[in-house]
A and B are shown apart, each in its own frame.
Chain A
């Protein structure tokens, strides 16, 4: 499902002394099935941007089209004179929002704090039931969603979500969004506050979802290492604008620009750059430890064989 954003601006507290421009005329197209990483400093407008994508925030200007469906149209509250007309419009608006949220699933930061039901099953079924699905269909969705995040339905369905570990809670919360079968999945800092094992598991499952279900995925993250490892495209935001956009290898070439706006590149890229500066022949666009190990091993082997160690 492609997403097309045209001239999107968002201004908080318009026409008051606190007026702040959170998003400044963004144009962006995300192709169907892409795996996009969205990075930027705190306050760069990332969160505001993603909240627009499923209708939680209304743009001040501009429009968003998700797979040919304009999600920013008809969200405005009108003031029709007739009560029946108003009611009709309100119903249409509600239907529209449900449709938008079915298409675009948004997982907030620390999603485990939104859990509220007595059992895992009921909690995950909350979304599908809001979409108007029957109980039986909703349970089907719950089974699917739980298995997508690597949890066994029979083991977990009757457990209280509050008795689970941090990583498990987060997976249940993500399943709660997946159960709505979104075409686009947006995750805001899905690995924040998890231990390395939990982090790798969550990222692995998201990657898997992307590959298996062909879902369009957008991840907001602070971790350059993670983004380098899993994303196909990186979008860097600063002060409400997009400053860099491209393949991670491309984006991470601009070390100075990134540092200027308070970001960094993966540590291994710094190592590669330092090695190149010392006259070592290595690809400076290396992004992951695995790549680096391979590359270095190759080079070193060759050199040892030819008898000269560096």
Chain B
């Protein structure tokens, strides 16, 4: 029952976007987010849609797959839309009025922009995770955080923690499944009863799960130390990140895109 859960949702492929350097992709995504809040005209949104559309096209990730990522936040979008449409005060007379509910033209406009922004935001960020494997992503983050080491930010440790956490998600899911079955064999019931009962029913699942997570952590720490791990200092890498011509192209296109957004 837990095998359907996918996290990180990396879509393996060998497209131009996939081959770009993760550092560049992270920075580009951030710029993209900024651009979303820079533009406030319909025509400018066309540029954004064109940009993200061509990224999707180049990445060879099926459009349906990208849009599926919107499902979990659909409610949030609706919520933002409704709030904006009702609560934006406007000048002039309301377009629609029933009792204390007043809808102004500005409200409708803002609601639409907000919804489009949210959708584009989610699509943009999911393009990053869809085309970058979790390991590449953490590698990229580590590099980008390196300058902050001077002010005491443990960049390597953070990246290592993320890598380990990602590595153990499937393991822990499997473990959860196993413990659940073992407790169900002893008559435990995880599926019925009210909220209180259900929460209580989780104790036989969570206690063993935590214990085994701590045990695993301990064993992993031991195994890493046994192989002389002592943090990022002086540690070389198996896969060294390198910028390629592709990234140069990327920089050019993103710069152009940002310029357009700023001008509009």
Contacts and interface: CB of A to CB of B under 8 A. Distances in A.
Q: Do A and B bind each other?
A: yes
A54 B185 contact: yes
A56 B187 contact: no
Interface string B91-111: 000000000000000000000
Q: Say which size band chain A's interface belongs to.
A: 20 to 34
Contacts of B189: 94, 130
B211 A114 contact: no
Given A127-B187, A130-B187, A130-B188, A108 B203 contact: no
Interface string A158-198: 00001000000000000011001000000000000000000
A126 B186 contact: yes
Nearest to A162: B211
Contact of A177 (B186, B192, B204, B208): B186
Interface in A90-132: 90, 94, 98, 101-102, 105-108, 111, 113-116, 126-127, 130-131
Contacts of A27: none
A111 B183 CA distance: 10
Contacts of A102: 187
B186 A130 contact: yes
Contacts of B187: 98, 101-102, 126-127, 130-131, 180
B212 interface: yes
A51 interface: yes
Nearest to B203: A116
B80 interface: no
Interface stretch (B34-42, B147-155, B174-182, B247-255): B174-182
Contacts of B181: 51, 56, 108
Contacts of B183: 114, 126
Contact of A116 (B3, B184, B208): B208
Nearest to A98: B187
Given A113-B179, A113-B212, A162-B211, A101 B203 contact: no
Contacts of A130: 186-189
A177 to B, nearest CB: 6
B207 interface: yes
A106 B183 CA distance: 10
A53 to B, nearest CB: 10
Interface in A149-163: 162
Contact of B204 (A98, A106, A116): A116
Interface string B204-218: 100110011000000
B192 A90 contact: yes
A102 B184 CA distance: 11
Interface of B: 3, 178-179, 181-189, 192, 203-204, 207-208, 211-212
Interface of A: 13, 51, 54, 56, 90, 94, 98, 101-102, 105-108, 111, 113-116, 126-127, 130-131, 162, 176-177, 180
20 contacts: A51-B181, A56-B181, A94-B189, A94-B192, A101-B186, A105-B185, A106-B185, A108-B185, A113-B179, A114-B182, A115-B208, A116-B203, A126-B183, A126-B186, A126-B188, A126-B204, A127-B187, A162-B211, A176-B186, A177-B185
